[in-house]
Amino acid sequence: MLTYDSTGFRLDGGPLRILSGAMHYFRTRPEQWPARLAALRAMGLNTVETYVPWNLHEPRPGAYTRLDELPAFLDEAARQGLWAIVRPGPYICAEWDNGGLPGWLTARVGRRARTSDEVYLAAVDSFLDVLMPSVVERQTTRGGNVLMVQVENEYGSYGSDRAYLRHLADGLVRRGVTVPLFTSDGPEDHMLTGGTLPGVLATVNFGSEPEAAFETLRRHRPQDPPFCMEYWNGWFDHWGRPHHSRDAADAADTLRRMLAAGGSVNLYMAHGGTNFGTGAGANHADPPFNSTDWTESPYQPVTTSYDYDAPLDERGGVTEKYELFRAVLAEFAAAHPEQARYLDDRVPGPVELPPVLAARSVELTDSAPIPFGAESVHPVPPAFEELGIEHGVVRYVFDVPADRPELPLTVEGLHDRAAVRVDGKRVAELARGVAGEPLTAPGGVTLELLVDSLGRVNYGPGTGDRKGITGGVRHERQYLHGCRVAAFDLLAPLPPLQFGTEGPLARGEFTLDATGDTFLAVPGGRRGYLWVNGFLLGRYDDRGPQTTLFCPQPLLRTGSNELLLLELGDAAPRSVELRDRPEL
Catalytic residues, by residue number, are 154, 230
Angle between helices 320-335 and 248-260 (to 10 degrees): 20
Alpha carbons 138 and 58: distance in angstroms, whole number = 22
Alpha carbons 480 and 472: distance in angstroms, whole number = 8
Among left, alpha and beta (phi > 0; psi -120 to 50; other), residue 105 is alpha
Sheet of 8-11, strands arranged across:
2-5, 8-11, 14-16
Closest-CA residue to 246 (of 307, 204, 287):
307
For residue 133, whether the previous peptide bond is cis, meaning omega lies within 30 degrees of 0, is no
Backbone angles phi, psi at 72, to 5 degrees: -65, -40
Alpha carbons 402 and 392: distance in angstroms, whole number = 32
94, 308 in Cβ contact below 8 A?
no
Q: Which 3 state secondary structure label does DSSP give 259? A: helix
Closest-CA residue to 96 (of 57, 123, 70, 133):
57
Alpha carbons 52 and 150: distance in angstroms, whole number = 11
Please state, as a whole number, how many other Cβ atoms lie within 10 Å of the Cβ of residue 142. Answer: 12
Residue 517 pairs in a beta bridge with 356
For residue 88, whether the previous peptide bond is cis, meaning omega lies within 30 degrees of 0, is no
